[in-house]
């Protein structure tokens, strides 16, 4: 039996817990838009999402591979501190990392390689503290790999598995998958599958997990049982037994329905 919302058929996800009422997520496709500086397109989204109550954010740099964690944290600090947010990087805290998450006002998880990120999160036993704090209302911001981490699994990432985490299961903060940097470009002469074909393969063998393809410049803001699309581009939705379709509406709350 399936539920149809906004014309989009969703599989029942009875085995997954409902989204906590207090959950607050800002999930971005990317950190840099063409012709703009780092996180420029997301500045207003971040301000509105974090609000007046957050003054210190905990940055998770573990998706960085060819950039050092120090340099990655410095890039984020350079962008956010002029906005009034003090940035502490999780790799540099002196206390237990799980304790740092537990005490954080907000967590920002940067992009890079999703496998590298998830491997670090497992090795430092951070999944449970992150889940608990987000369920308690702590704001969670992720871009690219950081958005993948919020999904049930990272299996709809675009990244190469340069390391092997214990499992591909992620935080499961939302009951659907995200594909960041979504594009269905197919260069002339290229004989490989398009992104759409790969995501259709995913929903074919994972019928309980719809996928939202987020074009660059797009984000999802989750406030409890509501999801709002941010940015000018439609989201492309994939589900088992359905043709992919583009959704331009701002209200995508039906993705949380089961």
Residue 257 appears among annotated catalytic residues: no
Name the catalytic one among 114, 144, 147, 253. Answer: 144
For 14, the enclosing helix (H) or strand (E) is: none
Dist CA 88 CA 224 (whole Å): 26
Residue 3 appears among annotated catalytic residues: no
109 to 57, 148, 251: CA distances (angstroms): 10, 10, 24
Residue 226 DSSP SS3: strand
Residues 6+ apart with CB under 8 A from 16: 152, 172, 175, 258
Residue 29 appears among annotated catalytic residues: no
Residue 133 DSSP SS3: helix
Residues 6+ apart with CB under 8 A from 142: 25, 26, 27, 28, 108, 109, 110, 111, 148, 149, 150
Name the catalytic one among 29, 89, 114, 159. Answer: 159
Catalytic residue numbers?
144, 159, 181
């Amino acid at each position: 039996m399936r539920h149809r919302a906004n014309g989009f058929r969703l599989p029942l996800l009875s085995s997954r817990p409902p989204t906590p009422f207090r959950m607050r997520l800002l999930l971005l496709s990317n950190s840099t838009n063409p012709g703009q500086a780092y996180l420029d397109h997301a500045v207003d989204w971040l301000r509105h999402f974090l609000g007046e109550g957050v003054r210190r954010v905990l940055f998770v740099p573990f998706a960085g591979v060819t950039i050092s964690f120090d340099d990655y944290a410095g890039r984020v600090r350079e962008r956010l501190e002029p906005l009034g947010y003090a940035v502490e990087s999780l790799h540099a805290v002196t206390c237990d990392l799980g304790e740092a998450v537990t005490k954080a006002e907000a967590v920002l998880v940067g992009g890079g390689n999703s496998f590298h990120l998830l491997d670090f999160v497992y090795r430092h036993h951070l999944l449970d503290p992150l889940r608990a704090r987000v369920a308690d209302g702590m704001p969670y911001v992720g871009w690219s790999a950081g958005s993948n981490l919020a999904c049930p699994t990272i299996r709809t990432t675009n990244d190469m598995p340069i390391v092997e985490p214990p499992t591909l299961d992620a935080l499961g903060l939302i009951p659907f998958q995200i594909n960041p940097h979504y594009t269905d470009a197919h260069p002339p002469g290229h004989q490989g599958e398009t992104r759409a074909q790969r995501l259709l393969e995913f929903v074919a063998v994972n019928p309980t997990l719809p996928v939202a393809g987020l074009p660059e410049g797009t984000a999802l803001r989750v406030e409890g049982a509501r999801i709002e699309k941010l940015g000018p581009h439609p989201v492309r939705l994939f589900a088992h037994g359905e043709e992919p379709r583009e959704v331009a509406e701002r209200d995508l709350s039906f993705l949380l329905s089961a």
